[in-house]
Structure 1
């Protein structure tokens, strides 16, 4: 009798499987896994950028020691961004997700300032190592933008499935543990082009007597030479 019941139960499951599949029972976990894969792509691209920064900073330092403030800010922003601990659960935690995005956006901002510096140093602009790193960074920034866009599209699709019929039925029952995921939002700072104030000492000009190389000019130095150029790195091909 027990064997017969098991066989009947198995037959019932086999008969119901196509019906359940057609009703979208697998839709939510399928879209959830797709969104998590896109999240991994975002993390990989941000890590790629973080790996480029040390060499980029050292190259700039060799030609523009006066810009110690910007170089320090880049190093600190990179450290802050890499110290934020993220995993698959981050995308369903608004606070942790916002912390991660803010840290990455801050790094994006100071990197923009670092790249503007090159306009003030002709030797740096023509340095082959710098040009190669610049090209890699531009390519990585483009990949980050694409990865974030694909992630947002995947998350939007997944979040919609949690709220629409018939998958909302499964979201309230079998997949009740599935939570909405967070979307990347454009920060206010990201809407403005980065600027750098090169006031005071001109690149290559002698420092005031007694000043250490790379030190900031005293308050009695000449007035600022004017607004920083608005040039930004050309997009990657």
Structure 2
């Protein structure tokens, strides 16, 4: 009977160690995607800081385009507010979805601004505008890379959380829901293959 007790205690110990491993892995994967979101936050803040400078330079040349400039500023402010909310809890699906929608609106406003700027040749050759546009483009690339890293980390977390046996214990350990992928409108446009007609 002494051996049976040791076997039972051994099984319990192995089970406890296995549960600790599941808990630690869930925490590790959550921390990875939260850190990845922090990298997105840094790049988006950098972009948000560049936009007012871009607007100031454009405002001097585009005297009749006040509505377009105001739309960009409004979209930028909304996106910055949603970024702050998402940064507080990058695992919350609604916060990520709201940020995604706000970024889509900002991207649309910036696209309209670029179209309008085409009508102002002086603006296209302005040294400050060229420098700001280049910095904004570089930041967009950094945002895309950071978003890819975040989405990869989210996928790793979600896959582990949904797998068996972690799914049996995830909710108990405070990991009841999946994390949300961060998709911007431009990622959907990139995935669509353009039609070419001859």
Q: Where on the TM-score scale, by shorter chain, does this alignment land: which range?
A: 0.7 to 0.9
Secondary structure in structure 1 of the residue aligned to 2:185: coil
Gaps in structure 2 of 5+ consecutive residues: 1-9, 191-198
1:58 deviates by 0.7
Per-residue CA distance 1:196-226 (angstroms, 9 max, x = gap) = xxxxxxxxxxxxxxxxxxxxxxxxxxxxxxx
Secondary structure in structure 2 of the residue aligned to 1:130: helix
Question: What aligned pairs does 1:194-209 form with structure 2 within 5 A after superposition?
Answer: none
Rg larger for: 1
* Match of residue 77 from structure 2: 79
- CA distance in 2: counterparts of 1:183 and 1:56, whole angstroms: 30
How many residues are paired up? 178
- CA distance in 2: counterparts of 1:87 and 1:79, whole angstroms: 14
* Match of residue 41 from structure 2: 43
Gaps in structure 1 of 5+ consecutive residues: 1-11, 193-237
- CA distance in 1: counterparts of 2:33 and 2:81, whole angstroms: 23
Judged with a 3 Å threshold, the aligned counterparts in structure 2 of structure 1 residues 143 and 63 are, in CA distance, closer, same or farther, namely: same
- CA distance in 2: counterparts of 1:82 and 1:176, whole angstroms: 28
Question: What aligned pairs does 1:1-237 form with structure 2 within 5 A after superposition?
Answer: 19-20=17-18, 24-84=22-82, 85-88=84-87, 90-173=89-172, 175-187=173-185, 191=189
Q: Give the superposed CA RMSD.
A: 2.8
More helix by share: 2
Contact 2:75 2:106 in 1 (8 A): yes
- CA distance in 1: counterparts of 2:32 and 2:111, whole angstroms: 32
- CA distance in 2: counterparts of 1:23 and 1:75, whole angstroms: 47
Report the TM-score, using the length of structure 2 for normalisation. 0.78
Report the TM-score, using the length of structure 1 for normalisation. 0.66
